[in-house]
Amino acid sequence: MAFDPAVLRAGLAVVERRADQLTAYFYAHLFAHNPGVRAMFPERMEEQRDRLLAAITHLVQRLDDPERLAGYLAALGRDHRKFGARPEHYPAVGASLLATLRRFAGNAWSEEQEKAWTEAWTVISRAMVDAAAAVPAGTPACWQAEVVRRHPAAPDVTVLTLAPDRPYPFTPGQYLTLCSPRVPQVWRPFSIGCAPRPDGTLDVHVRRVPDGLLSPVLVDAVRPGERLRLGPPLGTAVLDPASRRPLLAVAGGTGWAQVKAVVEELARAGTRPATVLLGARSDADHYDLDAVRALVERYARLEVVLAAPADGAGRAEAVALLHAGLGRLGDCAGRDVLLSGPPDLAPAVAARLAALGADPSLVRHDPVPRTLDRSRPATAAERFLQPRDVAWINRTELA
């Protein structure tokens, strides 16, 4: 890389204190100079503006790790096909980005900053364009999928069975992103809750997120016959197909969806023992238990342990039960491990697993956001002191 990452970080530090104004200006500049791109974005832009600054920060922080950055940009470029992103859009975005940084940096802007950001955006955009161009011919940018079944599984959880309009190739353990025409251009990630089926259908398990833009629509409003758009399968939290090691899976809430897909695939061969520790906030929060029982009955080498605190208990009690369950399992050495659930589940049990002998290189989970706070910061100081959990367009990272 010809540019100096330290120069970019210094420039970002100058402008991020005015993040809300910066991101609002960026999109105003982009839409004013390229009105055709407005339709690629959601109607409500508050979250999109948060996502922009978070994405820029995410990229700048990885400039010193070219291999990791390359993997992230490649996945991002492939995934942006579903938005209709084309090569000619990238120079437009770069021009608006530079105009915004130049305006908000004020006297701190210099020829060195101009050169570094121009070169950085050239590298970033080229990597994304090349990754999109390398997708095999005939691979859809997105799939149309009909909702063929809607099953209310718990008071705030609905399982949707979808029938894509074309074959949807995925590996158990991966996730997809989807959006509904009821909330245009609002995409969210969901684990695929089944192994591949002969009829091509697949399940997603959706929990209603308070004040969410998409999940309340999927849980409460979407009906069979409606169509959703699916992005390509993503994620590296999949098992090594050559492994014969026992599987230990720890799931919380709708993390069961990802674990269910993996266990269904293992059950077809039935050669590897599997233990699933399935946690929930309460007994009432355990759902899909008929499917759990059916898997245990047909997969002789599967053991499932349910863990839920008493009604009214908090998250700490639920985590303590998971720790106790892991302790009763004993030595975890020599196992493949899959962690799936709320963003704090993996950090909460990782140290316990290490103490029980689990090999960190055999532990799989999707990327973990830094925080759980999705509220809007009221002031620049609040934004600085309490980073927010941004709903990423694409949460894929190198394993």
Q: Which of 212, 131, 218 is nearest to 179 (CA)?
A: 218
Q: What is the mean pLDDT of residues 233-243?
A: 89
Q: What is the pLDDT of residue 361?
A: 92
* Class in CATH terms, 247-364: alpha beta
Quick one: angle between helices 256-269 and 289-298, nearest 10? 20
What's the CATH fold of domain 143-230? Answer: Elongation Factor Tu (Ef-tu); domain 3 (2.40.30)
Count of residues in the chain = 399
Residue 238 — φ and ψ, nearest 5°? -120, 160
Delimit the domains of the chain by residue range: 5-137+379-385, 143-230, 247-364
Residue 119 neighbours by CB distance under 10 Å: 16
366-397 b/e (C-beta count within 10 Å ≥ 16 → b): bbbbeeeebeebeeeeebeeeebbbbbbbbbb
Distance CA 349, CA 343 (A): 11
Q: Has residue 124 got a pLDDT over 80?
A: yes
Over residues 152-198, the pLDDT tens digits come to: 998 899 999 999 999 999 999 999 999 999 998 888 999 999 999 99
pLDDT at 313: 65
- What is the fold, at CATH topology level, of the domain defined by 5-137+379-385? Globin-like (1.10.490)
Which pLDDT belongs to residue 128?
Answer: 93
Yes or no: say if 103 and 68 are a contact pair by the CB < 8 Å rule. Answer: no
What the block records as the tokens of 323 is 């720790």
pTM: 0.80
What token pair was written down for 187?
Answer: 């995409």
CA atoms within 13 A on the CB side of 17: 7
Least confident of 170-179, 203-212, 307-316, 339-348: 307-316
pLDDT at 395: 42
Cβ atoms of residues 264 and 194 within 8 Å: yes
19: left (phi > 0), else alpha (psi -120 to 50), else beta?
A: alpha
Q: Quick one: tokens of 139?
A: 């691979």
Those residues with Cβ within 8 angstroms of residue 98's Cβ, 6 or more apart along the chain or in another chain: 114, 117, 118, 121
The band of 391, judged by pLDDT with boundaries at 50, 70 and 90, is very low
| pLDDT over 70 percentage in the chain | 90
Angle among Cα 234, 77, 173 to the nearest 5 degrees reads 5
Non-local CB neighbours of 259 within 8 Å, separated by 6+ positions: 249, 251, 276, 278, 338, 340
Fold agreement (5-137+379-385, 143-230): no
